[in-house]
Structure 1
């Protein structure tokens, strides 16, 4: 049985002290559970890697196509690569901290596994209690494209 993926709007309030950018990104909701919550990404003040086009059109235009490809078409059948799902809301730099996953693909299925917290300085911290997840390829791509459509 395949896992179910939904992208839900994730709002980060801005503030003056300390200075924080307001952000509208997406949370990855798997089988009804927020991946932001399950991974503890909120504890690190991380935001989703994809911007909400209706709220952050410039960022979405600049980033979403590349990131969407990393999650979908850039994953070769039989291959895999790591993708940052939650990143620093200020700069998106992995050195500030990120929740990453190994994205792999086989015929009709995409898998997310080997979740980790990475920050560029320390050894990655495996999140062994998260995943793995397997999604039907067509439903997965449709949901990501739906959310990222401007």
Structure 2
């Protein structure tokens, strides 16, 4: 049985002290479980890699196509690569820390495995308690249609 992927609204409220920027992004929900929580991105004050164009049209137009392509169109059957799911809500810089996943594809499915926290200067911290997940290719693409339509 294939896993089910949905995108859910993820809202980070602004604060004055310490200063925090308001963000409207998306969480990745697999089989009803928030990966934002499961990967502990929520404890690290991260946000989703995809911006909600209704609230953040500039960020969405600059970054969503690249992020969606990393998770969909750039996937070649039999070849995998790492993609960012959650990152710094202020600058999106790797050095602040990101949650990544190894994304690989075959003809009819996509697999997410090897979840990890990375920051580019320390060894990655694997999240062995999350995944792997296997998604039907057509349903997987449909899950990203919400981001592409906004």
In the superposition, the TM-score normalised over structure 2's length comes to: 0.98
Residue 50 of structure 2 contacts residue 147 of structure 2 at CA under 8 Å; is this kept in 1? no
| RMSD of equivalent CA atoms | 0.7
Q: Does 1:11 find its partner at 2:19?
A: no
How far residue 145 of structure 1 moved from its aligned partner, in angstroms, is 1.8
Residue 77 of structure 2 contacts residue 105 of structure 2 at CA under 8 Å; is this kept in 1? yes
Gaps of 5+ in 2: none
Partner of 2:59: helix, strand, or coil? Answer: helix
Cα separation, 2, equivalents of 1:67 and 1:147: 10
Residue 10 of structure 1 contacts residue 47 of structure 1 at CA under 8 Å; is this kept in 2? yes
Cα separation, 2, equivalents of 1:7 and 1:43: 19
Cα separation, 2, equivalents of 1:148 and 1:33: 23
Residue 28 of structure 2 contacts residue 36 of structure 2 at CA under 8 Å; is this kept in 1? yes
How far residue 146 of structure 1 moved from its aligned partner, in angstroms, is 1.9
Q: How many residues align?
A: 150
Runs (4+) off by over 6 Å: none
How far residue 121 of structure 1 moved from its aligned partner, in angstroms, is 2.1
Q: Does 1:145 find its partner at 2:145?
A: yes
Q: CA-to-partner distance for each residue in 1:54-113, whole Å, 9 max, x for gaps?
A: 111110011001110000010111111000100000011111000000000001100000
Task: Tell me the equivalent position of 1:52.
Answer: 52
